[in-house]
Structure 1
């Protein structure tokens, strides 16, 4: 039964890619539920299971509030990483690594994903399974699928959740994060349906209660998104004072040999030979510096936040034995109103910074760097008051 439902996933994705197949966002919620139920049946969910899944659904205003106020990602890298990474959390991660060694060894053998990466996500997402979220997942998904901000993301998740319900792998009282992620490593229903792993052999994929299911499913998802076995993801480095800062940032990739020739030196170990890499300065040239490899970019398939991804990638290296970063002494961060004013100025100059939200994401960093080059300032991608004043 599970294989038959999963086989329908490509057709389901194709159907939802066409506007005529998608349920209209906004409008009457009851009518929306009726149309979504019909789509679930068309996608292969048995009618009785679909009827049960959509019965009693309620919109959740708290979900929409959470979706529009993700202020935690406005923190700097140093503030964010220091708030998430503690001695206790690091010790717990290493203890879990030893306790569940067989599971992590299997994850690496079958999917190529290093244990530090899985432990970092497990720690940050749910504090090793202890805090999995208390939003009703079904209500959250349908609230977001009905909302007009991102229906193309959440409507397929609703249909996947209905299919998981038909497989007895999604209880209607399931709770999780406000955005519909479920379980110890917080995966969306479509990922669970298509890439869930029955790690404990009980015939079900249950990410809320089974450590083996959760960790192996997370590893399989990362592999699906391009994780490269045996390769690093991030290494802390030092840069010469004469370094060309305009070469930093995710938009510039060069072989590690080229970076070494320019004076890029790892604080410990060596740069991975033969790999394309970028130089990352989360808080500019006066803060920590990292070389990031192709695997680093796979982290964005789990979370789109630059600050979260960089912190998770760094924490994964700490779990596996790396030293604490050299914090340096970065220039002060802009206040929220200053960041939003900067984004408005950058957008007016034609840069794509996304939403004017005060969050220093990858798009804003790239725009900052281009303007720093144009104005003859150190082009390290870190917004300063000097740049704001100059614009």
Structure 2
């Protein structure tokens, strides 16, 4: 079951002059056809590509209902990471060992990283979404919320169609247009698709080698640093300056070591590497050190909880022990979180939409207010903080 918001590059696109939207859907499709012909595709091919396109109200319903999960990290990670998923992941690494060896050689992306995405996105290919992809992309491009994001994806799908790698009538995937085992948008497939099994096509729905190789190339394109770690569980001293923690703040590994940061197992990375200390549920909960590759995860998904869980799961798939959950202070309910956001906004903080979600803006605002009030500035909101505000 696909559980997450659109993953790849949706927030990175830039509006273009062709971001028309709205109006009667048939007229909108005629505009797409005219643009496709103007871009150099012959009219017969364009007409064949768009012949079956339909507006899909279920796509809009899914779009309006999406939201970053409100569950805290411990609950979220325990729900997603099961023994079955770990066992199947380890079976997959054996089955596709030569593919993962090639990926590690060519892109420097560790197998656990791809296995975790594969598991979370589609349960190792078991459910890849049942929305018609062209209908989904056209519906979202016609909708006037983000046409600049989805309209270019339609023309990318047309290019895939011309290569024989997309069937507008039968290609299905996620509601936001992602396709295949690791859920890639058409433009990402054009840029990063790899024929991993040597059959002359890039088929991310049916070929695990194609999907895994393409996912690895995309991570490399997004800035993955070959052969470097991404996340590691650590122990933190009780007298740490908590205001230095959080994904937006970095020191070198050597500096963190001098402050008393120690790995729970293994060794920390090279002392000169920049890193952040991540406390998803405050100073009394789990603690991780995040290296530069951790930031690449946010190019794949914008949810902090999802990203941290995926990065941690990659470690588990490669043999890391279960994290020490500690004894974090109780968090806030959804209603309390919304009230907190309103109070933070009233104090001049940019927390974005008041939605009850502990996102990056709310975490930063919480940490700033904790510091101002003389509280441990670990960015974890509690009822006591809410009361103080």
- Structure-2 separation of matches of 1:180 and 1:232: 31
User: Is 1:166 matched with 2:162?
Assistant: yes
CA displacement 1:109-167 (0-9 Å, x = unmatched): 11111100000000000000001011111111111112222222111111111111121
The change in CA–CA distance for 1:210 and 1:264 in structure 2 (over 3 A counts) is same
Q: Residues 111 and 229 of structure 1 are in contact (CA less than 8 Å); yes or no, is this contact kept in structure 2?
A: yes
Query: What does residue 148 of structure 1 align with?
Result: 144
Q: Counterpart of 2:254?
A: 257
TM-score, normalised to structure 2's length? 0.93
CA distance in 2, matches of 1:217, 1:182: 12
Partner in structure 1 of residue 65 of structure 2: 69
Q: Which runs of 5+ in 1 are unaligned?
A: 1-15
CA RMSD of aligned residues (A): 1.5
Mean Cα displacement is larger for which, 354-363 or 162-171?
Answer: 354-363
CA shift for structure 1 position 318:
0.6
Match of 1:351 in 2: 349
- Within 2, Cα distance between the matches of 1:60 and 1:324? 42
SS of equivalent residue, structure 1 residue 73: coil
| Aligned residue runs from structure 1 range 54-65, under 5 A | 54-65=50-61
Displacement of 1:40 in angstroms is 2.5
The residue that corresponds to 2:7 in the other structure is none
Whether 1:266 and 2:263 are equivalent positions in the alignment is yes
Deviations 1:216-262 (A, max 9, x none): 00000000011011100000001111111111101211100000000
What residue number does 1:236 align with? Answer: 233
Question: Aligned partners of 2:214 and 2:38: how far apart in 1?
Answer: 27
| Aligned residue in 2 for 1:388 | 386
> 2-side partners of 1:45 and 1:106: how far apart?
36
Matching of residues 135-214 of structure 1 within 5 Å: 135-172=131-168, 173-214=170-211
User: How far apart are the structure 2 equivalents of 1:353 and 1:43?
Assistant: 41
Unmatched segments (≥5 aa) in structure 2: 1-12
Q: Aligned match of 1:78 in 52, 74, 81?
A: 74
Q: What's the CA shift for 1:71?
A: 4.7
Offset at 1:18? 6.0
1:112 is aligned to 108
Shift of 1:347: 2.5
Whether the aligned pair in 2 keeps the contact of 1:279 and 1:289 (CA below 8 Å) is yes
Residue pair 1:284, 1:380 contacting (<8 A) in 2 also: yes
Q: Does the C-alpha gap of structure 1 residues 207 and 345 become closer, same or farther in structure 2, counting only changes over 3 Å?
A: same
Single out whichever of 190-199 and 145-154 deviates more from structure 2. Answer: 145-154
Separation in structure 1 between the aligned mates of residue 41 and residue 108 of structure 2, nearest angstrom:
33
Q: What corresponds to 1:226 in structure 2?
A: 223
The 2-side partners of 1:363 and 1:43 are apart by 40
Q: Is the 8 A contact 1:26 1:147 kept in 2?
A: yes
Cα 1:95/1:17, change in 2 over 3 Å: closer
SS at match of 1:235: strand
Give 1:7's aligned residue: none
C-alpha distance in structure 2 between counterparts of 1:352 and 1:238, whole Å: 31
Partner of 2:69, secondary structure, is helix
Q: Give 1:357 shift.
A: 1.9
Match of 2:29 in 1: 33
For the residues of structure 1 that align with 2:350 and 2:97, how far apart are their CA atoms?
A: 44
The separation in 2 between residues aligned to 1:96 and 1:342, in whole angstroms, is 44
Higher helix share: 1
Aligned length: 375
User: Taking structure 1 as reference, are residues 91 and 246 closer, same or farther at Cα in structure 2, changes over 3 Å only?
Assistant: same
Q: Which residue of 1 aligns with 2:3?
A: none
1-side partners of 2:383 and 2:23: how far apart?
Answer: 44
